[in-house]
Amino acid sequence: MSRHCKIDLLSSSLPKPTSISRNREAFTLVEILVVMVIIGLMGGMVLAAVQGVTNSARAARTRTIIAACDSVIQEQYESYKYRPLPVQIPTLLQSLGTNELGREVLVAEAARARLIMLRDLQRMELPDRFSDFGAGTTAPTPSNIWAAASPVLIDASDNIVGRRNDLSARKALVVNFSSSAKVANYQDRYASTNPSATTAQILQNQSAECLFMIMSNSFDGGTPAISAIPSSNIGDTDGDWLPEILDGWGVPIGFVRWPVGYFPSDSTSDPTSPDYYANNPDDFDLFRADYAYAEKDSSTAKTSDATDVNNSNTAVKPWSMRPLILSAGADGEFGIAMSPYTSIGAGPCRHFLIQIPR
């Protein structure tokens, strides 16, 4: 008994082994690097997701703004098909005893005069550049329109008793028409330009500023059309004091009234096909009064400004061109030509300068 008790006493007097585990108050370098990599990956994923959602929201906002502008532009564009035009045609009556010799505008010429007037009204009422409404001039200046007229002999009872169909006897008469009231409003808006702004500043975003003018002078459902554009998407990015309509990225929205050479990507028609222009005629030339329809022979040079790129002597028939409203998108690049001017500095087509074909 005593020996066993001694052993117990000895075992109890031995020192206890030291524990190998310790409480640490820091991380190793490897652990910190691993955590940083994980946080970086998660942050990149979150940032990419946020940017994607932000771009989607901006794109959706831009589509809404463009749709609101397009609704107003297309409504006004369609109104030109039925718009009455006040035409003043001089009679130039000459007394010949009991009869009078006057001038009568030919039916085809009347249709052509109306066509040019419609195009000229579109230029003034749907401008995509300040020069379209005579910016800086004292009064709106519609283009001069000339119409061919044949001599007509009228008796005292106002009955036509004779006419001359000789082409050499025809004369060109000036057809006058009043300008649109919108043009005066556009000029008043342009007059508020920053006097210290340079020409480059004024012309930098003129298409977006013209679009703002159009929306400000149009109504949709009895309310000003510009009220459909959020105030956050209206600004002056070039400092010329002329407001612009901005897209979701804060870039001025582009506007082209006659986008020559632009074909929608979703179009099923082939723009390089000869039948494209025949299948898409001008919406306002119902009687085919444009001079391009009078030029059949491809052996001589044409007077029309629009010619076939494969044959300079072949006039292209007028085709339908609807106004284009576009955004530069996330990259800030429109990707299309915004000016009708060519690389050699030639000006755009002026309809009233087209000569009468012989």
Residue 168 lies in a domain: yes
Residue 179 neighbours by CB distance under 10 Å: 17
According to the model, what pLDDT value does residue 286 have? 86
According to the model, what pLDDT value does residue 156 have? 59
Residue 16 neighbours by CB distance under 10 Å: 5
Name every residue whose Cβ is closer than 8 Å to that of residue 53 and which is 6 or more positions away in sequence: none
Mean pLDDT of 191-205: 88
Dihedral (C-alpha) 270, 276, 280, 285: value to the nearest 10 degrees? 150
- State phi, psi for 38 to the nearest 5 degrees: -65, -45
Residue 287 lies in a domain: no
Split at pLDDT 50, 70, 90, the class of 77 is: very high
What's the Cα-to-Cα distance from 321 to each of 53, 61, 260, 294, 346, rounded to whole Å? 35, 26, 7, 21, 21
According to the model, what pLDDT value does residue 311 have? 55
Percent of the chain with pLDDT over 90: 21
Residue 86 lies in a domain: yes
Residue 9 lies in a domain: no
Residue 275 neighbours by CB distance under 10 Å: 9
Q: What is the pLDDT of residues 99-137, one digit of tens each?
A: 666 666 777 777 888 888 888 889 889 999 888 887 665
Mean pLDDT of 72-90: 82
Split at pLDDT 50, 70, 90, the class of 334 is: confident
Question: Smallest Cα–Cα separation from 178: which of 127, 217, 124, 104?
Answer: 124
Rounded to an integer, what distance in angstroms lies between the CA atom of residue 263 and that of residue 270? Answer: 9
Q: What is the pLDDT of residues 231-241, one digit of tens each?
A: 999 999 999 99
Rounded to an integer, what distance in angstroms lies between the CA atom of residue 92 and that of residue 173? Answer: 9
Name every residue whose Cβ is closer than 8 Å to that of residue 253 and which is 6 or more positions away in sequence: 62, 65, 66, 69, 208, 211, 244, 245, 246, 247, 325, 326, 327
Percent of the chain with pLDDT over 70: 59
121, 113 contact by CB (below 8 A): no
Question: Smallest Cα–Cα separation from 149: which of 100, 195, 108?
Answer: 108
Which of 8-17, 25-34, 100-109, 120-129 has the least mean pLDDT?
8-17
Q: What is the pLDDT of residues 44-66, one digit of tens each?
A: 888 887 777 788 888 999 999 99
Mean pLDDT of 295-302: 56
Residue 193 lies in a domain: yes
Residue 274 lies in a domain: no
Domain count, the chain: 1
Residue 197 lies in a domain: yes
Orientation of helix 107-125 relative to helix 181-190, angle to 10°: 30
206, 129 contact by CB (below 8 A): yes
Rounded to an integer, what distance in angstroms lies between the CA atom of residue 247 and that of residue 269? Answer: 29
Rounded to an integer, what distance in angstroms lies between the CA atom of residue 139 and that of residue 244? Answer: 24
Mean pLDDT of 193-200: 87
Task: Report which of residues 237 and 301 the model is more confident about.
Answer: 237
Residue 153 lies in a domain: yes
Rounded to an integer, what distance in angstroms lies between the CA atom of residue 109 and that of residue 170? Answer: 12
Q: Which domain holds residue 210?
A: 64-260+321-353
306, 292 contact by CB (below 8 A): yes
